[in-house]
Amino acid sequence: MTKHTHRIEPGTRVHLDRIDPDDTGPLHSKEKARARLAEDLEELRRLQYLLYADGTHAVLVVLQAMDTGGKDGVIRHVMSGLNPAGCVVTSFKVPSSEEHQHDYLWRIHKAVPARGTIGVFNRSHYEDVLVVRVHGLVPEETWRARYRQINEFERMLTENGISILKIYLHIGKEEQAERLRARIQDPAKNWKFSMADLEERKRWKDYMEAFEDALRECSTEWAPWHVVPATHKWYRDAAVARLLRRRLEALDLTTPEPREDLAKIVIR
């Protein structure tokens, strides 16, 4: 993994237990991280405007994590700084009966952002090689074939102007225990507590294996994965904002040429 960009180099085997979820990269304090986040958010607003004006690209942020990993927090702290007119968040839950009647990418493709906008997936098609694998909801040959299918799907999107930024928010098992306890102890967080999360926690090891395989099989040149250490929420938010900023910068966005010869226009 490349340091501080958190990028998983295509073709490398990922050992999540060797990636420190407490890491704070070059940012050693909350104050420093918050200051950089504020700077990046301001720049992101400018870049988002250019993305809209340029109108040839879209950016798709794919967020995956274990329960309590902080997907909602990232959306609140990073995406909320953007212009809501050009940013759509889609949360993927257990498929509806209609969705079940289609292939697993059907609902995903429909939610891919339009050119000029940023789309955020809170969970994604990766659930179809994660929860689906861990719970044995389809036979192994079915989920195994999906790594290739997902890579091809993402390649097609990339070739059509959709820049995909995939982020796994990395927390440890003990940190998850703390966060689940907080949901019981803190009345303001009680509403978030669900027995289902405790059931999933029992399968932690299976989930880690499924994530490691997804990260390895689907970190591609066109859509690499990033593993962001997420114990410290201030670091997590700053790191995600920086990744998104860099991704938008890489698009080399410009405002289009005026459609008319403006020098000749007189407005009376």
127 scored as a contact of ligand ADP (CB under 6 A): yes
CA 3 from centre of chain: 19
253 in Cβ contact with 50 (< 8 Å):
yes
CA 73 from centre of chain: 12
User: What is the smallest separation between the CB atom of 95 and ligand ADP, expressed in angstroms?
Assistant: 5
Residues 115, 123, 216, 233: which binds ligand ADP (CB under 6 A)?
A: 123
Please report, as residue ranges, which positions from 51 to 70 form the binding site for ligand ADP (by CB under 6 A): 67
131 scored as a contact of ligand ADP (CB under 6 A): yes
Tokens 């509806």 sit on residue: 96
User: What is the smallest separation between the CB atom of 68 and ligand ADP, expressed in angstroms?
Assistant: 9
Please report, as residue ranges, which positions from 70 to 109 form the binding site for ligand ADP (by CB under 6 A): 91-95
Q: List the one residue out of 62, 43, 34 whose CA is nearest residue 118.
A: 62
223 in Cβ contact with 164 (< 8 Å):
yes
User: What is the total count of residues that contact ligand ADP (CB under 6 A)?
Assistant: 12
Structure-token pair, residue 109? 């493709």
Residues 128, 154, 175, 217: which binds ligand ADP (CB under 6 A)?
A: 128
| CB-nearer residue toward ligand ADP: 18 or 93 | 93
| b/e 32-61 (16+ beta carbons within 10 angstroms → b) | ebeebbeebbebbeebbebbbebbebbbbb
193 scored as a contact of ligand ADP (CB under 6 A): no
Please report, as residue ranges, which positions from 9 to 48 form the binding site for ligand ADP (by CB under 6 A): none
Q: List the one residue out of 121, 120, 119, 115 whose CA is nearest residue 52.
A: 115
132 scored as a contact of ligand ADP (CB under 6 A): yes
267 scored as a contact of ligand ADP (CB under 6 A): no
Binding site for ligand ADP (CB under 6 A): 67, 91-95, 122-123, 127-128, 131-132
